């Protein structure tokens, strides 16, 4: 089965609605505990109630969320999803007294409660994290006021989905051959490598980015809402910046972000070397950003989903049996929605909730990239399976910072496996190019976008108006520095900031692709070299869930992200791969 089977949750929306009503009716039960969290019985009963209601939430939320993502054009599905979000927001408002009351009771007293009951012991780290943020937790009344504003924080996500996908009209183009085709967000990346005529590539690119150019002011105002939401939050809570506000809760040093940003910014020489190599062997007079999709070696190989899945399973052979089992479980039938469809959310993700098998969304287009995407998302789902089965609900949910380690580890694994099977020059070029492009996309490109976020937030801090021009200027300057490409010469590219949904959905998310990539490369190299306990340490990291701070969890598997050398190792690997590619091209 290449589609989701959402009947594991409910047979239909009528059954779902009954649980939604039950969930809503139980929210007010939290109010009875106000003023009682400084007693053992009050604290214990609140936590047990929250667990009970959370189990219900973890059933009603994914059913609506996943169904809506299968057809963003369906307003009925969208409204059902929005109804859950509104109820979740109300729960946030009703429970806003929890953190201030617990902090007022004092760390020693609350931890003594935790030690009295086995059911509460998993919450020790949760409580320690809360007191870590003590100085940024406001009074009960102020927390309640902020909770009332929480629905506003979900507005950018729903508005972006409506503007970029739901209300989108796809463009039809006529190529130089006379062929007409509709250009969508799902297909344009696969079409570009097939076009030999630069004018055709330009045409397809402009069709894909027309939505962002035509609505540049709307997207700019929407992104301004994202920035202002972050500014209001960090200022209200007493953080020094939006960045610190995003990092502090997980005890991630700002220096980790800055080291990543600086290492990438200061080591763009290999990028320009690679672009010149590509331009030479592709015979291009002018190199455009969308020419990154062109391949140095021809490959018409298609990878149907079942074949791609089998290739990934073969790459797993010989590894720890427990690891192999959970990677296979990640791709079980009924839990992967494979093919692009009209209205379906673009891109790919793994969505997991405690007590349930995780679900993977793909838009599999049978390219080599889609094979790696399959492996990537399987890594996320396997991570969820490991964590959920090893940890209690309180500390099972791992944070984004370590999430991408599991996904990119799988990419390293699959890449090495396929390269080991390559027998022809063309195969080697294709795979080396894929490895290099992986670093270009995951390490450099994501760090570029993270730097954009950093600079955009600085505009707000400095009181500079947010317009499409100020946002575009940041991108224009960064693309010139990183790639030595003037994106103003590409009609629409300067609005690439509007093209990246993560910037609107989950601010200061994308830098974690690069940190995780760096960590996973280190872990993978340790496993590949057969270092003692390398694989078992990695599995322990996957099982750790959210039981410790993410930088410490990465260290379990042997990756120290506080060390600048971890990021410089990616630069070294990048140079090595370019050397290998150049040798193969010359052979």
DSSP 344: P
Closest alpha carbon to 477 in 487, 490, 489, 463 = 487
pLDDT, residue 152, reads 74
Residue 339 tokens read as 């093919």
Q: Return the half-sphere exposure (C-beta side, CA atoms, 13 A cut-off) of residue 173.
A: 20
Q: According to DSSP H, which parts of 462-559 are helical?
A: 468-483, 496-499, 501-505, 511-528, 534-543, 550-556
73: nearest Cα among 345, 349, 363: 345
Q: Which residues contact 62 (CB under 8 A, 6 or more apart)?
A: 9, 351, 353, 356, 359
DSSP letters of 193-257?
GG--SHHHHHHHHHHHHHHHHHTHHHHHHHHHHHHHHHHHHHHHHT-SSHHHHHHGGGT--HHHH
Query: 6-148 belongs to which CATH class?
Result: mainly alpha
Q: Give me the pLDDT at residue 1, please.
A: 62
Phi-psi region of 205 (alpha: psi -120 to 50; beta: other; left: phi over 0): alpha
The Cα 386–Cα 409 span in angstroms is: 15
Residue bearing tokens 């099977």: 421
Write the secondary structure of 14-38 as one string of H (helix), E (strand) and C (coil). HHHHHHHHHHHHHHHHHHHHCCCCC
What does the domain layout of the chain look like in residue ranges?
6-148
> What does each of the 587 residues of the chain score in pLDDT, given as a tens digit?
689 999 999 999 999 999 999 999 999 999 999 999 999 999 999 999 999 999 999 999 999 999 999 999 999 999 999 999 999 999 999 999 999 899 999 999 999 999 999 999 999 999 999 998 877 777 777 777 777 767 777 788 888 888 887 777 888 989 999 999 998 887 888 899 889 999 999 999 999 999 999 999 999 999 999 999 899 888 888 889 999 999 988 899 999 999 999 999 999 999 999 999 999 999 999 999 999 999 999 777 899 999 999 999 999 999 999 999 999 999 999 999 999 999 999 889 999 999 999 999 999 999 888 999 999 999 999 999 999 999 999 999 998 889 989 999 999 999 999 999 988 899 899 999 989 999 999 999 999 999 999 999 999 999 999 999 999 999 999 999 999 999 999 999 999 999 999 999 989 989 998 999 999 999 998 999 999 999 999 999 999 999 999 999 999 999 999 999 889 989 999 999 999 999 999 98
At 67 the pLDDT is: 97
Write out pLDDT tens, residues 93-139. 999 999 989 999 999 999 999 999 999 999 999 999 999 887 777 77
For 234, what's the count of Cα atoms within 13 Å in the CB-facing half-sphere? 20
pTM comes to 0.81
Output the pLDDT for position 492: 95
State the Cα–Cα distance between residues 527 and 529, nearest whole angstrom.
Answer: 5
CA 573 – CA 139 distance, rounded (Å)? 49
pLDDT at 40: 98
What is the model's pLDDT at position 44?
98
Tell me the pLDDT tens digit for each residue of 15-45: 999 999 999 999 999 999 999 999 999 999 9
Compute, in degrees rounded to 10, the torsion defined by CA atoms 323, 328, 329, 334. 160
Distance separating alpha carbons of residues 514 and 264, to the nearest angstrom: 10
């Amino acid at each position: 089965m290449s589609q989701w089977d959402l009947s594991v949750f409910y047979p239909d929306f009528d059954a779902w609605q009954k649980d939604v009503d039950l969930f809503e009716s139980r929210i007010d039960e939290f109010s009875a505990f106000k003023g009682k969290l400084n007693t053992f019985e009050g604290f214990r009963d609140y936590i047990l109630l929250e667990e009970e209601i959370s189990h219900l939430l973890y059933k009603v939320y994914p059913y609506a969320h996943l169904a809506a993502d299968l057809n963003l054009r369906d307003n009925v599905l969208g409204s059902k999803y929005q109804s859950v979000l509104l109820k979740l927001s109300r729960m946030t408002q009703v429970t806003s007294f929890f953190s201030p009351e617990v902090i007022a009771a004092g760390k020693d007293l609350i931890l003594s409660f935790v030690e009295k009951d086995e059911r509460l012991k998993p919450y020790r780290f949760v409580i320690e994290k809360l007191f870590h943020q003590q100085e940024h937790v406001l009074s009960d009344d102020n927390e309640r006021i902020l909770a009332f504003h929480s629905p506003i924080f979900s507005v950018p996500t729903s508005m972006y989905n409506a503007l970029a996908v739901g209300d989108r009209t796809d463009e039809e183009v006529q190529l130089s051959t006379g062929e007409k085709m509709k250009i969508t967000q799902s297909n344009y990346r696969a079409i570009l490598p097939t076009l030999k005529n630069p004018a055709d590539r330009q045409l397809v690119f402009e069709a894909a980015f027309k939505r962002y150019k035509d609505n540049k002011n709307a997207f700019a105002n929407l992104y301004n809402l994202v920035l202002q939401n972050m500014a209001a939050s960090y200022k209200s809570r007493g953080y020094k910046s939006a960045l610190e506000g995003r990092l502090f809760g997980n005890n991630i040093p700002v220096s980790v972000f800055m080291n990543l940003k600086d290492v990438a910014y200061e080591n763009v020489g290999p990028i320009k070397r690679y672009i010149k190599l590509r331009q030479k062997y592709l015979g291009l007079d002018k190199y455009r950003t969308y020419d990154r999709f062109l391949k140095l070696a021809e490959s018409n190989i298609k990878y149907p989903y079942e074949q791609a899945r089998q290739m990934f399973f073969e790459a797993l052979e010989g590894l720890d049996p427990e690891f192999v089992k959970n990677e296979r479980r990640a791709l079980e039938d009924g839990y992967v929605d494979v093919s692009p469809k009209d209205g379906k959310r673009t891109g790919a993700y793994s969505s997991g909730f405690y007590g349930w098998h995780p679900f993977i969304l793909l838009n599999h287009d049978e390219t080599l990239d889609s094979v790696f995407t399959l492996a990537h998302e399987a890594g996320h789902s396997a991570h969820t399976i490991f964590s959920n089965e090893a940890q209690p609900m309180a500390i099972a949910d791992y944070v984004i910072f370590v999430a991408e380690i599991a996904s990119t580890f799988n990419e390293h694994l699959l890449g090495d496996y396929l390269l080991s099977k390559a027998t022809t020059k063309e195969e080697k070029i294709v795979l080396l190019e894929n490895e290099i492009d992986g670093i270009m996309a995951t390490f450099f490109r994501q760090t570029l976008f993270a730097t954009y976020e950093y600079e955009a937030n600085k505009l707000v801090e400095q009181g500079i108006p947010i317009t499409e021009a100020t946002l575009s200027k940041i991108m224009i300057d960064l693309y010139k520095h990183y790639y030595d490409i003037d994106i103003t010469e590409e009609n629409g590219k300067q609005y690439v900031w509007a093209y990246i949904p993560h910037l609107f959905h989950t601010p200061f998310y994308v830098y974690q692709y690069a940190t995780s990539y760096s960590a996973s490369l280190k872990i993978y190299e340790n496993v590949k070299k057969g270092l003692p306990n390398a694989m078992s340490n990695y599995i322990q990291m996957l099982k750790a869930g959210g039981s410790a701070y993410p930088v410490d969890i990465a260290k379990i598997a042997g990756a120290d992200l506080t060390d600048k050398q971890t990021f410089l190792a990616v630069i070294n690997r990048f140079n090595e791969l370019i050397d290998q590619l150049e040798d193969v091209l010359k052979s």
